Structure 1
Amino acid sequence: MNEETNKQYEQVCEAALNWVACLRSDAVSEGDRQAFSLWLGEHNSHRRAMDEAQALWDDLAVVRHIPVNIDKAANRSRWLATAMVAAACLVLAVFLWPQLPSDPVSTQYRSAMGERRTVDLPDGSVVHLNTNSTISVTYTDDQRHVDLERGEVWFQVSPNKQRPFHVDAGEARITAVGTAFNIYLDDNSTDVTVTEGVVEVSDIGQTGRRLHAAELLLENQRLITGIDGWELSSSDDVSKQMAWQRGELVAEEMPLPALIEQLERYQQTRIIIADPNVAALTVSGVLQLDQPEASLSAIAVSLDLQITPLSDTSVLLLKAEQ
């Protein structure tokens, strides 16, 4: 177990011992029990630490209640052996237990809809989460592993050749030692853009429809993976893909349905296009993601459309009445 993970787990174990003492005291309240239930459900490591804390507490109880007045030699030998075993267990628990390896502890980070969040990881790497995104981070002695569960994230990875940095997103694994890259995961594809250094993208799943098993991406290169294959492209400037960090969406002849799909990532309102003529329109410009409603209004004005409310959570985009 590395030093960072060991320290985190020691803190969890200390909290577990405090909960054992609290729950076994005469002064425990119903509020204490409710707070304990919430703590126990926060993470799997809390349950494991609680099991070990209860076992340690029981070992202490055995030593404390060893009889001291035993008349028969046989009984005295039996209790002496029990005491020695209990004492040995106690020594192992107190002095060796924090050093024993355990399952790596994962930490989850997420952003709400419409929120952009920056997280400093324990190894010195920095993560920027776009709207409605979730990652799970697990560190071991020989690697740093991230699962991108949903959304879009930009990573600035702290160099460490002895501990590669892996990100699993959909059916793709992105590996870097020290670099910066952006990943956008949707239902059908994984979009990887390298802004600094080099990353390797490899295939996690097994399928005959994919044309690539691995691809090395350089700075300013972009790779979109999907079930029908991988699409690699290069650009002298990837700032358009990174515009979300500035709270902007840069559109260059973007089909209106694709733009609407992006705006819906930042708000609860569903935007419906029923007219094929409206769906065929394209948009160019810079939109403000922090103000999706105002951006939609600006689109409607520029394309001569009208916004018709259908419910509290949906609107219809139509051609404006002449």
Structure 2
Amino acid sequence: MASRELEAFVRDQDPVDVAATDWHTRREQGLSAIEEAEFQSWRAAHPAHASAWAQVDESIRLLRSVPAERVAHLCTPRRGSPVNQPERPTQQGTDTPPTEQKQRPHNGPRRSPAPSARSWWPRGFGAGVAALCGVCTMAAGIAWYQWTQPTFASTYAAKQGQRLDVPLPDGSHLTLDADTRLEVSLYRSRREVRMAHGQAMFTVAPDTAKPFDVLAGPARVTVVGTRFAVRYMKDGADAGTVNVAVEDGRVRVADVTIDARDQSSPLHPHSVELSAGQGVQVSLSGQMSQVSSISPASVAPWRQGLVRFTNTPLSDAVHELERYHATRLVIRDPEVAALRIGGSYQIGRPDMFAGVLPQILPVRLVALADGNTEVVKAH
């Protein structure tokens, strides 16, 4: 049953019956002690709740006692006759109307009538076929809907200069760097994180029955249990590029735009497996770099309060440091902005970063009246 069809069907039902059916499917899937207490409280809150629960429980029990093919047959309306239309009266225990019985030729032995559809149901429930099938349909629809909905969902955001540690209900742990936003959804059969912007370290609790996916820009990172870092920035030196680095375990990195591009080129694989000490970049167009070797200890240096640059334009380096603290550095000259810088620097000491610039680049610092410092060419 499609989601819209289910919603339309449920709207036409008694809300108490819907609630009873919802509790029934949830209990079969397993309730926590707190949820079980909530159910008992709901059932005891009103006699109608207890009555609806008993009816749903008995209806589903009866439906399960009947062969599946008979349930499907009885729940399917006959041509020209809706399922909830009462059956026409019969004679002598047959399903044939009286007029048809009169026209039957008698030049041969009379055969025993075939058993009616009702004979498959327990005594006294023939008249409730439509109601029981409705309960069955609603239970199946609600169960399907619950299965496709997350059991846990939350959005997390770390602001400028902030770091956020997030323990998840499944035992996994996330550490968000500054200026990072992501959404976490845990389903019954999978776990999913959608990274809107930023970088984070993931320590994933092993669960082979529930893969853990991180979706960032053009990349999907899938794991079962491992520690890895993902960086996805929408601006700066590597804007639109997804960087994945594995500290422990194994992950699979896939290009989620694969269906939109030519899949025949062997130069750019569409998925790759990484182990500890390996990393890869996925470009905005979905193309993957060669797998690189890295030191596991160097993964996510921001956890140690460091930012690392490799041949990075000075303007982008300043922009990266601004994610943590205001540097109060101003660069107006495009040539100065394009100067390349490398090395590791302390995140919380922009003054130290500014002080080292004249030592490694052909620049000087000029104090401005507003308290900022301009980086200009050295003369």
- Of residues 348, 351, 359, the one that matches 1:294 is 351
Q: Which amino acid aligns with 2:364?
A: L
For the pair 1:89 / 2:52, whether they are aligned, the reply is: yes
Asked whether the 8 Å contact 1:129–1:152 carries over to 2, the reply is: yes
Query: Counterparts in 2 of 1:1-322, with a 5 A limit?
Result: 7=32, 10=35, 60=46, 63=47, 87-89=50-52, 101=143, 102=146, 103-104=149-150, 105-187=152-234, 188-205=240-257, 206-208=259-261, 211-228=268-285, 229-267=287-325, 271-291=329-349, 293-302=350-359, 303=361, 304-306=363-365, 317-319=374-376
Asked whether the 8 Å contact 2:325–2:348 carries over to 1, the reply is: no
**Distance verdict in 2 for CA 1:9–1:151, change over 3 Å:** farther
Asked whether the 8 Å contact 2:336–2:377 carries over to 1, the reply is: no
% of aligned pairs identical?
A: 26
Match of 2:138 in 1: none
Tell me by how many angstroms 1:317 deviates. 3.3
Match of 2:106 in 1: none
Match of 1:41 in 2: none
> Which is strand-richer, 1 or 2?
1
Tell me by how many angstroms 1:307 deviates. 5.0
- Structure 1 CA distance, aligned partners of 2:296 and 2:328? 29
TM-score, structure 2 as length reference: 0.56
TM-score, structure 1 as length reference: 0.65
**Distance verdict in 2 for CA 1:281–1:230, change over 3 Å:** same
Which blocks of at least 5 consecutive residues in structure 2 are unaligned?
1-25, 61-141, 235-239
Match of 2:108 in 1: none
- Structure 1 CA distance, aligned partners of 2:369 and 2:34? 51
**Distance verdict in 2 for CA 1:321–1:279, change over 3 Å:** closer
Asked whether the 8 Å contact 1:221–1:232 carries over to 2, the reply is: no
Cα distance per residue 1:175-226 (max 9 Å; x no partner): 0011111000112111111111211111223432784321212222211112
Tell me by how many angstroms 1:126 deviates. 1.7
Tell me by how many angstroms 1:111 deviates. 1.6
SS of the equivalent of 1:113 reads: coil
Q: Specify the structure having the higher radius of gyration (Cα).
A: 2
Tell me by how many angstroms 1:236 deviates. 4.2
Which blocks of at least 5 consecutive residues in structure 1 are unaligned?
18-52, 64-82
SS of the equivalent of 2:171 reads: coil
SS of the equivalent of 1:230 reads: coil
Which runs of 4 or more aligned residues in structure 1 lie more than 6 Å from their structure 2 counterparts after TM superposition?
1-5
